[in-house]
Structure formats: structure tokens, C-alpha cells
């Protein structure tokens, strides 16, 4: 992160805002003129809709309201229905939270292991592995999901056949997409495959800043690799690990495409809905936009809590 | 020592297989002449371009590629201009609420698209911009702006203010300074953020799925679903289309990211 240079001396020219803002109104208005188009777009398409979704969650908003434009206020009925629904507590919330926790743990551990591998490699091997990692990172969520579905297609999917050869499943009957646990296991493979490159490259950049002398000194003192990581590397890179963990958490909480595009993920199999897909299915398949909005508000609130944590971490490191 | 080297190579092999096998399967199935005849192998027995000619011709994927390209380029051009102006404002001026604007730009990136798709669909429906590529451009512009502003802000701040002051001494107006000094110097940053805006627009799925009900307006991410038939999936076509979607993104990504991390790594080694 770069820090903004603080101007200490009053220079000349229009870019300088003097120590006493307000003297020349033209200087005060210029940054706002520059910001106006971007703020308008973000305000109109990000902030205002966020407000609007909260308002819709207080209405009974169905196909009739969509067509006629009428509003039917129901107060907190949608929330009452949502919080009293077993679907939330038994299915959508665990599918969101447990899945996010599991994939974040897997992503961060795998990413760190790959970073530790990369730092030990020569320049050529490191270049090759780094490129391969970026290829995995670059796969769009849509096509990546289809490839994993292809691998696990019941009957003749390559991964299913491999598991069959190992005697773990029976290829003739196994369908990983109907069972909740195996459905999310395939989804986790997809999400980790797409998510660990960011962790690996960020941690690698951090590892390269750890002075070699320190790790060498620890080696001389008889510390093995495990001990060196936990006593030297990890404490020094704590901020890096904090940021990659929080960012991965934010991303893995709101996975939509990777779940929605799997067989049954679009609402056909109710037991694999997470908060994101449930909100979408409730709105656009059932035309219950009010309830869908309430679910979306719940998801946003969860993410907001995590975001506050992220900002705390970031502000300690970097002055705006 | 030998055991250690062996362990390293085993690790390298593992990472290469895990990262590249899915990509290889996508590409090899796209070229596999018998992808739909029960032949699912790592190495196709029969290589062909039929899957590609089918998806572009009969499959209508050519149109989807054009749609996606239009949307992505529109997003990139508008995004670059708006983000650059905003980045200059937050990195070159001190003004009231500057910190609030920056915090908002940061926080807004965490908003889940699932929460935005409901109100924006209702809004777009009443404005009559459903089924129009322009509607998608506006939405993607909003999605890509926060990241672009945040990144460009660093690039702008890195340019010495003295260069601007020199331009003023030479009698340049603020506008002239912007075009002749700031813009050329910030160009590399602009390229990097444009690549990310392009990828955002090119890959986006939920809004393209919700806004576009007419097949003529499908983008690639949504058009792909057409090859999932009621009676079975045409995997050869799916993978050929997936390859067409993925390859440009991959090339872009590796180039742009390489530059960013190379700079990162070089800096830390010297430091």
C-alpha cells in the first residue's frame, strides 16, 4: 500500500489546497468536480440499491407489485418468516458459514505451503510454478465450475472413475451432486483452486522480506523448519496472514456462481442452498422479492461485520 | 539433501497437476472429436476443430463473444476515465470528507452482488433498460470503479508533485498539465486497472443472467448455459466455448499480474 504524500509547504498552482481551505471556492470545488462522475455512478448503482434492498425487505414484493408498482408494507414480517424458517438455521446459514470457514482454512494453508515451496525454488522453477498458479487464478468462475462438474459427472467423470478405481466409490451409482457433503466438497475444490493463488503470491512477497539472517540464526540455534515457521516467520508476517485471511473470508462468504452453476445448485436441491443462492432463487424463481431481499440484507450484515475487522487491520498498517 | 530435493520436486509436481489439470482437461475436451461419445480421456484419441466451428456457427457463440467484447470495452473506457479523475482528486487534493470518501470506496467493495441484483433488476425494469448491453455496462462500471480508484490512487500519488509544479512554471494550465504530465506518467497504472475492469465485465454472471432474457443479448458467461441440454450435456461444445472465454482472460491476466508481482518482488529483494 502506498501512502499519500502530505503536502507540507504551500506550493503554487491550482493543485495546492492551502492550509486554510475555503479561501478560494474554485480550489475547494475542483476535487468534487473530479470525483462527481465516479461518485454518481457508485452512489446510484451501489449505495442507493443497498438502501433500496433494505426497504424492499420490509414489503410484500411479488410479481403483482413488480408489474403495478404498488407497495405493500408488511413491517418485519419477512424477517420473522426468515428467522423462524428451519431452512435458514439447518441449511442456508451452515452452508454459508461452515463452507466459508472450511474453504478459508484450506485456501490459507495450501497458499502458505505453496509460498514456502516457491521461496525454496530456483528462479526458473519458481517462474514456471508462478505462471501455473496464475493460470489457475485466471480461470473465470463460470468455466472453472463447469470443468469441476465435468470431472465429477456421475458415471463417466474422470474423477469419479479415478475414485472408483481406488475403490472409494461405485461409479455406476455415485452422484456427488445430490448429497450435501459431497456437493460442497466439489465446490470447495473449485473455490480453493481459484482462491489459493492470491494467498500464495501475497505470502511469497511477504516471505521475501524476511531477512535471511534471522532464519539462519534460528537454524544455527537448532530450530527445525516447523519451529522456524511458527517462531520466526509467522510472527513477522502476522499482518500479511491477517489480510489474506479476512479477504478470503469475504470472498468465500458470498460465493454464488460456483454454487448456482453446479447441478442442483440453482434451487432444485434445497439442501445445498446458501444465503446467496437462496436469496436469488427466492426472488427470481419464486417471485418473492421481499423475502429474498431480507436474506440479502442478512448476508450483507454478516459481511459488514467481517469488513469492519478488515478495516481495523488495514488502518493499523496503512494511513489513508 | 537428496530427500529434501525429492520433496521439493514432489511439491512442484503436485502444484502443477492441481493447477493445470483442470485447464488441460478443458482444452483437450474442446479438441476431442469423441467428447460426447463416452470418450473422456486426458489425451484425446481424435483431434478436431468441430466443437469450435459448432459453437461459433450453429451455437451462436460468435454473437455472444461480440456482446461480451462490447460490454467489456465500454466498461474499460468509461471506467478508466472516471477512475482516473477520481484518483487524482483523492491523491492530489486535501478536502473535507476526503477520508470518508476513501473509506466508502473501500467498504463498498464488500457489498455482495446478491444484495444489489434485486433492487437493480426492479430499477432497470422500470427504466426499460433490461435486455440492453448499455444497462450491463453501467452496472459493471459501478462494480469496477472502487477497485480501479483504489489502485490508481497509488499510481498517481507516486508521481512527484515537483513534475506538476514544473509544468505550471512553464505556464501550463491545470488541464494542460493533466494531459501532458499526469496522464502519460500514470499510463502503466491505467493499463493494469483496465485489465482488471475488463476481466470483471467479461466474467460477470449474475447480472448478465438476470438482465438478459433475449438470446441476442447474451454474454459469453450466460451463453455457455445453452449447451446444457434437457437430455444431456454437449461437453465438447461446453469446453470449446469455455476455452474461447478463458484464453483471452488468461493471457491478459498472466501479463498484467506478472508485472505487478515482479515489481513487488524486485522491491522487496533490494529492500
The predicted structure's pLDDT at residue B155: 86
The predicted structure's pLDDT at residue A23: 52
The predicted structure's pLDDT at residue B264: 41
Chain A positions in Cβ-Cβ contact with residue B170 (cut-off 8 Å): none
Give the three cell numbers for residue B158. 507516486
Phi, psi angle pair for A59, to nearest 5°: -120, 160
Rounded-to-integer distance, Cα B62 and Cα B30, Å: 16
Q: Is the model's pLDDT at B270 over the cut of 50?
A: no
Percent above pLDDT 70 for chain B: 92
The predicted structure's pLDDT at residue B37: 61
Tens digit of each residue's pLDDT (9 = 90 or more) over B124-183: 998 988 999 999 999 999 999 998 998 888 888 888 888 888 999 999 988 888 888 888
Cα A78 to the chain's mean position, in Å? 27
The predicted structure's pLDDT at residue B195: 87
The predicted structure's pLDDT at residue B4: 79
Helix B235-270 vs helix A180-207: angle between axes, to the nearest 10 degrees? 30
The predicted structure's pLDDT at residue A7: 42
The predicted structure's pLDDT at residue A27: 66
How many residues belong to chain A? 320
Q: What is the ipTM of this complex?
A: 0.87
- The least confident of A21-25, A39-43, A105-109, B72-76 is A21-25
- CA of A56: which chain B residue's CA is closest? B119
- CA of A203: which chain B residue's CA is closest? B265
Rounded-to-integer distance, Cα B248 and Cα B225, Å: 20
The predicted structure's pLDDT at residue B258: 61
pLDDT band at A287 (very low <50, low <70, confident <90, very high): very high
As to burial, measured by CB atoms within 10 angstroms (0-12 exposed, 13-18 middle, 19+ buried), residue B95 is middle
The predicted structure's pLDDT at residue A319: 52
Closest CA to B43 of B32, B52, B51: B32
Greater pLDDT, B232 or A35: A35
Chain B positions in Cβ-Cβ contact with residue A201 (cut-off 8 Å): 257, 261
SS3 call for B59: coil
Nearest-Å Rg of the Cα atoms of chain B is: 23
Q: Is the model's pLDDT at A66 over the cut of 90?
A: no
Q: Any idea what DSSP says for residue B111?
A: S
Q: Is the model's pLDDT at B267 over the cut of 70?
A: no
Q: State the fold for domain A77-319.
A: MetI-like fold (1.10.3720)
Tens digit of each residue's pLDDT (9 = 90 or more) over A131-185: 899 889 889 999 999 999 999 988 888 888 888 888 888 877 888 899 999 999 9
pLDDT band at A269 (very low <50, low <70, confident <90, very high): very high
The predicted structure's pLDDT at residue A1: 40
Q: What is the mean pLDDT of chain A?
A: 87
Whether A291 has its CB under 8 Å from any CB of chain B: the answer is no
pLDDT band at B259 (very low <50, low <70, confident <90, very high): low
B 234-263: CB under 8 A from A: 235, 238-239, 242, 245-246, 249-250, 252-254, 257-258, 261
pLDDT band at A284 (very low <50, low <70, confident <90, very high): very high
SS3 call for B65: helix
Q: Is the model's pLDDT at A310 over the cut of 80?
A: no
The predicted structure's pLDDT at residue A318: 55
Q: What is the mean pLDDT of residues B4-18?
A: 91
Q: What is the mean pLDDT of residues B193-206?
A: 91
Q: Is the model's pLDDT at B93 over the cut of 90?
A: no
The predicted structure's pLDDT at residue A317: 58
Q: What is the mean pLDDT of residues B87-98?
A: 89
Q: Is the model's pLDDT at B228 over the cut of 60?
A: yes
Q: How far is A248 from chain B (nearest CA, A)?
A: 11
Q: Is the model's pLDDT at B268 over the cut of 50?
A: no
Where do the structural domains in chain A lie, given as residue ranges?
A: 77-319
Mutate to test the interface with B, among A142, A177, A252 (most CBs of B within 10 A): A142
Rounded-to-integer distance, Cα B260 and Cα B151, Å: 11
The predicted structure's pLDDT at residue B271: 30
Long-range contacts for A250-253 (Cβ within 8 Å, ≥24 apart)?
A: A250/A303, A250/A306, A250/A307, A250/A310, A250/B110, A251/A195, A252/A99, A252/A100, A252/A103, A252/A104, A252/A107, A252/A191, A252/A195, A253/A96, A253/A97, A253/A100, A253/A299, A253/A302, A253/A303, A253/A306, A253/B112
Q: Is the model's pLDDT at A201 over the cut of 60?
A: yes
The predicted structure's pLDDT at residue B161: 87
Q: How many CB atoms lie within 10 A of CB A104?
A: 24
Amino acid at each position: 500500500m502506498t501512502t499519500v504524500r502530505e503536502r507540507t509547504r504551500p506550493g503554487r498552482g491550482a493543485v495546492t489546497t492551502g492550509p486554510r481551505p475555503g479561501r478560494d471556492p474554485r480550489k475547494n470545488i475542483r476535487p468534487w468536480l473530479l470525483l462527481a462522475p465516479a461518485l454518481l455512478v457508485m452512489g446510484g448503482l451501489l449505495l442507493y440499491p443497498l438502501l433500496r434492498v433494505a426497504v424492499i425487505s420490509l414489503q410484500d414484493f411479488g410479481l403483482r407489485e413488480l408489474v403495478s408498482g404498488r407497495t405493500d408494507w408488511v413491517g418485519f414480517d419477512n424477517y420473522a418468516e426468515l428467522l423462524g424458517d428451519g431452512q435458514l438455521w439447518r441449511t442456508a446459514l451452515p452452508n454459508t458459514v461452515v463452507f466459508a470457514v472450511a474453504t478459508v482454512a484450506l485456501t490459507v494453508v495450501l497458499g502458505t505451503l505453496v509460498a514456502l515451496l516457491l521461496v525454496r525454488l530456483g528462479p526458473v522453477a519458481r517462474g514456471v510454478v508462478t505462471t501455473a498458479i496464475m493460470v489457475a487464478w485466471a480461470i473465470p468462475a463460470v468455466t472453472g465450475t463447469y470443468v469441476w462438474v465435468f470431472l465429477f459427472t456421475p458415471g463417466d467423470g474422470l474423477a469419479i472413475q479415478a475414485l472408483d478405481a481406488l475403490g472409494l466409490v461405485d461409479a455406476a451409482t455415485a452422484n456427488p451432486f445430490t448429497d450435501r457433503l459431497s456437493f460442497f466438497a466439489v465446490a470447495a475444490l473449485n473455490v480453493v483452486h481459484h482462491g489459493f493463488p492470491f494467498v500464495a503470491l501475497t505470502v511469497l512477497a511477504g516471505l521475501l522480506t524476511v531477512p535471511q539472517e534471522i532464519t539462519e540464526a534460528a537454524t544455527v540455534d537448532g530450530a527445525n523448519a516447523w519451529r522456524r515457521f511458527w517462531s520466526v516467520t509467522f510472527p513477522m508476517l502476522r499482518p500479511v496472514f491477517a489480510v489474506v485471511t479476512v479477504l478470503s473470508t469475504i470472498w468465500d462468504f458470498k460465493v454464488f456462481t460456483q454454487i448456482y452453476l453446479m447441478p442442483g445448485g440453482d434451487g432444485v436441491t434445497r439442501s445445498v442452498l446458501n444465503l446467496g443462492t437462496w436469496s436469488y432463487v427466492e426472488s427470481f424463481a419464486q417471485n418473492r422479492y421481499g423475502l429474498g431481499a431480507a436474506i440479502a440484507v442478512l448476508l450483507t450484515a454478516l459481511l459488514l461485520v467481517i469488513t469492519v475487522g478488515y478495516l481495523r487491520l488495514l488502518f493499523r498498517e496503512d494511513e489513508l | 539433501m537428496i530427500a529434501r530435493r525429492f520433496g521439493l520436486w514432489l511439491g512442484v509436481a503436485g502444484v502443477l497437476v492441481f493447477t493445470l489439470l483442470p485447464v488441460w482437461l478443458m482444452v483437450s475436451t474442446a479438441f476431442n472429436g469423441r467428447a460426447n461419445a463416452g470418450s473422456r480421456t486426458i489425451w484425446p484419441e481424435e483431434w478436431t476443430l468441430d466443437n469450435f466451428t459448432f459453437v461459433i456457427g450453429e451455437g451462436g457463440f460468435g454473437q455472444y463473444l461480440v456482446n461480451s467484447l462490447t460490454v467489456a470495452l465500454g466498461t474499460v473506457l468509461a471506467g478508466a476515465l472516471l477512475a482516473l479523475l477520481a484518483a487524482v482528486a483523492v491523491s492530489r487534493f486535501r478536502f473535507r470528507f476526503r477520508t470518508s470518501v476513501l473509506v466508502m470506496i473501500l467498504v463498498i467493495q464488500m457489498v455482495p452482488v446478491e444484495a444489489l441484483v434485486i433492487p437493480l433488476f426492479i430499477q432497470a425494469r422500470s427504466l426499460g433498460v433490461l435486455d440492453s448491453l448499455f444497462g450491463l455496462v453501467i452496472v459493471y462500471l459501478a462494480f469496477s470503479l472502487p477497485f480501479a480508484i483504489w489502485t490508481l490512487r497509488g499510481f498517481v500519488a507516486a508521481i512527484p508533485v515537483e513534475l506538476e509544479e514544473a509544468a505550471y512554471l512553464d505556464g501550463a494550465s491545470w488541464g494542460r498539465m493533466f494531459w501532458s504530465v499526469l496522464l502519460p506518467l500514470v499510463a502503466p497504472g491505467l493499463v493494469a486497472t483496465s485489465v482488471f475492469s475488463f476481466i470483471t465485465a467479461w466474467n460477470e454472471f449474475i447480472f448478465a443472467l438476470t438482465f438478459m432474457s433475449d438470446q441476442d443479448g447474451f454474454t459469453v458467461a450466460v451463453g455457455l448455459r445453452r449447451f446444457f441440454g434437457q437430455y444431456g450435456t454437449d461437453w465438447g461444445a461446453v469446453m470449446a466455448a469455455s476455452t474461447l472465454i478463458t484464453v483471452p482472460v488468461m493471457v491478459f491476466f498472466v501479463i498484467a499480474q506478472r508485472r505487478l508481482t515482479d515489481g513487488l518482488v524486485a522491491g522487496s529483494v533490494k529492500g
